[in-house]
Copies of this chain bind each other. A is one copy, B any other.
Amino acid sequence: MKVTDKLLQAHETADLPATFSFEFFPPKTEQGIQNLYDRMDRMYHLNPTFIDVTWNAGGRVSKISNDIVNTCQSVLGLETCLHMTCTNMSVEIIDTALREAYESGCQNILALRGDPPLDAQVDANGQLIHKGEFQYAKDLISYIKKQYGDHFCIGVAAYPEGHPEEDNCDRVIDYLKEKIDAGGDFIVTQMFYDVDNFIEWCHKLKAKGIEAPIFPGIMPITTYASFMRRAKWSEIKIPQGFLDILEPHKEDDFKIRELGCELITKMCKKLLDSGVVNHLHFYTMNLEKATIMILQQLGLVTPEVNDTGLTGGEILPWRKSLNPNRTNESVRPIFWKNMKFNYIVRTKDWDEFPNGRWGNSESPAFGEISLFDGSLLRHSGKKLLELWGRPQTMKDLSDLFIRYLNGDLAMLPWSDTPINAEINSIKQDLITLNEKGIFTVNSQPAVNGARSDHPIFGWGPKNGYIYQKQYLEFFMPRAKLDTLRANIDKINRIENCGTNDDYKVLAFFAVDKNGGLQTNLKNDSVPNAVTWGIFPNTEVIQPTIVEKTSFLAWKDEAYHIAQEWQMVLKQGDDGSIDLLGKLLDDYVLINIVDNDYVGENKIFKLFEGIDCL
Seen from chain A, the residues whose Cβ lies within 8 Å of a Cβ on chain B are: 13, 354-355, 357-359, 448-449, 461-465, 467, 495-497, 500-505, 507, 521, 526-529, 532, 534-540, 542, 545, 593, 595-598
Contact = CB atoms under 8 A, between A and B. Distances in A.
A467 B465 CA distance: 12
Contacts of A359: 355
Contacts of A537: 502-504, 507, 521, 526, 528, 593, 595
9 contacts: A355-B359, A358-B539, A463-B496, A463-B505, A463-B596, A467-B534, A497-B536, A502-B537, A539-B545
A354 B357 CA distance: 11
Given A528-B538, A540-B542, A545-B539, A503 B462 contact: yes
Contacts of A357: 355, 357
A454 B461 CA distance: 30
A449 B598 contact: yes
Contacts of A539: 358, 526-529, 542, 545
A536 to B, nearest CB: 4
A593 B538 CA distance: 11
A565 to B, nearest CB: 33
Nearest to A357: B355
A605 B593 CA distance: 41
Contacts of A505: 463, 536
Given A537-B502, A537-B503, A540-B540, A463 B529 contact: no
A452 to B, nearest CB: 9
The 10 closest A-B pairs by CB, nearest first: A536-B595, A461-B503, A540-B540, A503-B536, A528-B537, A529-B539, A463-B503, A540-B542, A507-B537, A462-B503
A113 to B, nearest CB: 42
Given A502-B538, A507-B537, A536-B596, 6 more contacts: A463-B505, A463-B595, A464-B503, A497-B536, A504-B537, A534-B597
A540 B536 contact: no
A451 to B, nearest CB: 9
A389 B359 CA distance: 53
A598 B465 contact: yes
Contacts of A496: 462-463
Nearest to A497: B463
A42 B358 CA distance: 38
A504 B536 contact: yes
Contacts of A598: 449, 465
A354 B328 CA distance: 15
A540 B529 contact: yes
A465 B359 CA distance: 23
